Structure 1
Amino acid sequence: MINVTPMKPSNLSMAGFRMSFKQPKLLSYLLLFLIGYCLPVQSQAAYQAHQIEAVYIFRIANFIQWTNKPLESPLTFCGESFDPVVQTLIKISTDKRIQGRNVNIKTSGEDTANQCDIYIANKNTKPSELQAMAENILTISGKKNFTHERGMIELRQVDGKVKPIINLDNLENTSFKISSQLLRISIIEEGNNK
């Protein structure tokens, strides 16, 4: 129970009320609410945008099934060596597996355009480069309007959170499938941009 003891009526400030918490449960609930309310803001501020994007890309790969790829072959990510998203992905994927597959990261210096399963586009990637890629390569980026430039999945900031945007028309004729779980949490766009 909260006891409120008003001070003199002439003082209308918030300092005019003294509260005492008689029940520890109420205090506990209040603290949990404040911690829960403040934590997401603090944790997001603790990481840079490219780090969050790299984690999302790594997690999204768990929701893609490559139907024509042998299970023993590694899952290969490709991107530009200067891209901080790619550099972060290299760090977080070391000694990790996705769907039982080893993870490889190839950078642009290795002539990788058609040797990858997932291509991480950056702000300098041109739509013509995406169009030249094989249809079995998933393209993903945090670049604004990426799905309108032939990209398949864009990681967009929506209400302060990262949200996958998937353009279904850009996924036509691909040799992989996106799970319904990923589709449920994504914003779906249409409009054939190929």
Structure 2
Amino acid sequence: MNFRRWVTSVCLAAAFVSPLASAKFTPEQVKAVYIYRIASFVFWGADEQMNEISICAPDDEEVRDILTDITKDKLIRNKPLHISNSGCDVLYITKKESLDLIKLNPNRTISISDIQSFTELGGVVELSTLGGRIKPRVNLENVGEYTLSANFLRVAEIVGGKQ
């Protein structure tokens, strides 16, 4: 593992377990950072053909605005990030009424939410809060045409699928 990946892994792990990380920021800011960081740990089957990575947050304007700010001029594997409401590579939803968006988006879209039991409702990554800390839960049965980095899976609670 090269030094950059090691530093990234350590920073990601610290963000997932540090109670101080969320003490200085709003819940929406913390979620936006999680969404951005999780996107960097997703490897799409058609990664080479992708011109950009589109992150959607159609039902949470505040998180969408924060994502727009924190992803400005940022790249993931040399691909610019685009905050949108369509063509989603990463889909973040906050309302149960939006669960249909998982089915409407292609199998290449990773879905993320803070909805309780999201992983049982068809979602891939649930940002669950335990003891004031956000910890990602991943349902491997719901993963589509992409893979999730082992570095991310090490800090997540794995449910469903082969473990």
TM-score interval w.r.t. the shorter chain? 0.7 to 0.9
Does residue 1:164 correspond to 2:136, yes or no?
Answer: yes
Change (3 A) 1:123 1:65: same
Does residue 1:153 correspond to 2:120, yes or no?
Answer: no
Deviation string, structure 1 residues 85-144 (Cα, Å, up to 9, x no partner): 11111110011111221110103xxxx1xx121011122443333123210111111222
Aligned pairs, number: 144
Task: Say if 1:86 and 1:120, in contact at 8 Å, map to a contact too.
Answer: no
1:83 CA drift (Å) = 2.7
Does residue 1:182 correspond to 2:160, yes or no?
Answer: no
What RMSD over aligned residues (CA atoms) do the two structures have, in Å? 1.9
Counterpart pick for 1:99 among 77, 89, 105: 77
Aligned residue for 1:88, secondary structure, equals helix
Amino acid at match of 1:128: D
Question: Percent identity between the aligned chains?
Answer: 28
TM-score normalised by L of structure 1: 0.68
Partner of 1:19: none
Task: Say if 2:28 and 2:63, in contact at 8 Å, map to a contact too.
Answer: yes
Counterpart pick for 2:111 among 129, 135, 139: 139
Q: Structure 1: state its 5+ residue gaps.
A: 1-39
Partner of 2:90: 118
Q: Structure 2: state its 5+ residue gaps.
A: 1-17
Q: Which moved more, 1:80-89 or 1:130-139?
A: 80-89
Counterpart pick for 2:64 among 86, 103, 109: 86
Change (3 A) 1:43 1:155: closer
Partner of 1:58: 36
Aligned residue for 2:95, secondary structure, equals coil
Amino acid at match of 1:69: D
Change (3 A) 1:57 1:73: same
Aligned residue for 2:31, secondary structure, equals helix
Q: Relative contact order: is structure 1 or structure 2 higher (C-alpha 8 Å, sep ≥ 6)? A: 2
Deviation string, structure 1 residues 15-34 (Cα, Å, up to 9, x no partner): xxxxxxxxxxxxxxxxxxxx
Aligned residue for 1:89, secondary structure, equals helix
**Pairing 1:30-49 to 2, within 5 Å after superposition:** 43-49=21-27
Quick one: distance in 2 between partners of 1:125 and 1:187? 25
